[in-house]
Each structure stands twice: as structure tokens, then as C-alpha cells.
Amino acid sequence: MLKTKHLTKKYGERFALVGLSLDIEPGEIFALLGQNGAGKSTTINCFLGFVKPTSGQVYVNGLSVVDHALETKKYLAYIPENVMLYSNLTGVENLEFFSALAGFNYTKKELGKMLFKVGLQISANDQWVSTYSKGMRQKVGIAIAIAKNAKALLLDEPTSGLDPKASNEFSNILNELAKNDTAILMATHDIFRAKEIAGRIGIMKEGSLVSEIKSSDITTNELEKVYLQTV
């Protein structure tokens, strides 16, 4: 579902990605670990078509992102590290707006249900987003992604700023989505969270995937050790 082949991105003389090859199947959760600047976000931006690869290919659902920039976005949902919304619209209005852009017209009731599902307190639904905390905005961002019914989900540090309970709820949502055959690519710093929900874990360094581990083959402590050795 999400696939790259020898993906390379050069900014001037600096390599952000070097020959990266990934293949994430429907229903699979893949976690990308790595330090800041390792190329995790660049990878996600390549899938979104916001970064044009210097060489190599990016495919979403078998379509090349470079050639089908608008169409491939239909299969993707994206949650940034810091979900920013329109501050003088309410949570429901923001969700309504973004899902309408993706071509979905939900009723107020359905929108409310989605926000409830991601754990936003009901009283916040009709408040302006300017009154929201970072965690609350993040939840709306998750709802926006869910509302799109996408075949693939791209997450850039999605749980940063979420409290442990919300973070746990989020893991449950991801598992549920994966059960329904959504391919999930998650860039994260959180080794514990990665081990818990991802099926496969890739560790990136300076634009390359240096190791790829099945999470069932390793304990959290071992994963931490591998991570620290690699980076």
C-alpha cells in the first residue's frame, strides 16, 4: 500500500534520504524510529507529495505520487506532530471542513460521534479551537484522519503532547484501523509506543534505514539497546 524504491532526496549537498526502500502492506503498522533529522518526516512528505524525490519512486496504492499527486492523496490520511486548526472555528466545524475537503459530508451527529471516539470531551465540540489544549487539537487531527476512511495513514509524532490515557486510546484506534486493513506508517521517538503497536520497526539514521526489526521478535529493552547502538 505504501511503497518506496531507492528513494533519495538531496537538499543542496546534504542527503535527507539515501536509497530508502519501504513496503507497508494493508493492515500493517510500521514504526520509523530515529533522531531528529534522520529523514522520518521527509519520508512522510514524499508520500504526501510535498517533497519531490531527487531519485527513486514513491507509490501509494500502486500509483506513483509524483505523477498522480492529487489522486494518491485520496488514499492517504495524515496527522502532523502538532495539529494546527482554525482557531475561530469550533472542533466540529474544523472536522466538518477537512472531511468535506476529502469529499465526505457527515451529519453533525456523525461528526460528534467521531470526536467522542477519539476521546474529546463532548463539551468541547462546539467551542472555538482557540480554547483547546495541544492534546485536544491532536484528537481532532486524529478524527480528521479517521473521517477520511483512508487506506493508508501517515503519522508524524502523533502522540507527542497526548497524556498517557489519550495516548493509550490512540493506540487502540490504530489497532482497530489496522484490523480494517489500513496501512499505517508512524514516525516516532517513542520506543515504548512503537514496540507496543507496530508490527515492524525501522530505525533510520542519516536518511537510510539501518535496521528493520519485527516487534514480536524483540523486547522493549532490547529495542532500546539496538536503537541507542544504531544512532
Which of 6, 25, 50, 126: binder of other proteins (CB under 8 A)?
50
The residue from 21, 54, 55, 82 that contacts other proteins (CB under 8 A) is: 82
* Residue linked to cell 480494517: 180
Q: Does 45 bind other proteins (CB under 8 A)?
A: yes
Q: 1, 152 in Cβ contact below 8 A?
A: yes
For the chain, counts of helices (H) and of strands (E): 8, 10
Cα separation of 134 and 145, whole Å? 17
- Select the residue interacting with other proteins from 48, 65, 173, 174 (CB under 8 A): 48
| 128: helix, strand or coil | strand
From the list 144, 190, 146, 137, the residue with the least C-alpha distance to 168 is 190
State yes or no: residue 11 binds other proteins (CB under 8 A).
no
For the bound state, the minimum distance from the C-beta of residue 100 to other proteins, rounded and expressed in Å, comes to: 4
- Smallest gap from residue 225 Cβ to other proteins (A): 35
Question: Is residue 175 a contact point for other proteins (CB under 8 A)?
Answer: no
Strands (E), the chain: 2-11, 14-24, 29-34, 55-60, 63-64, 76-79, 152-156, 183-188, 200-205, 208-214
Identify which range of 76-84, 162-170, 175-183, 203-211 contacts other proteins by CB under 8 A. Answer: 76-84
**Residue 199 pairs with which residues in a beta bridge?**
none
Residue 148 near other proteins by CB under 8 A: yes
**Alpha carbons 195 and 142: distance in angstroms, whole number:** 20
Q: State yes or no: residue 14 binds other proteins (CB under 8 A).
A: no
Residue type, position 222, single letter: E
Shortest spacing between CB 157 and other proteins, in angstroms = 13
Order of strands, sheet of 63-64, starting from the edge strand that comes earlier in the sequence: 14-24, 2-11, 55-60, 63-64
The window from 95-103, 179-187, 193-201, 223-231 that contacts other proteins (CB under 8 A) reads: 95-103
Q: Determine, following the binding rule CB under 8 A, whether residue 9 of this chain makes contact with other proteins.
A: no
Q: Which stretch binds other proteins (CB under 8 A): 17-25, 99-107, 115-123, 209-217?
A: 99-107
Nearer to other proteins, 83 or 187 (CB): 83
Give the binding site for other proteins (CB under 8 A): 45, 48, 50, 52, 70-71, 73-74, 76-78, 80, 82-86, 88-89, 93, 97-98, 100-103, 141, 144, 148
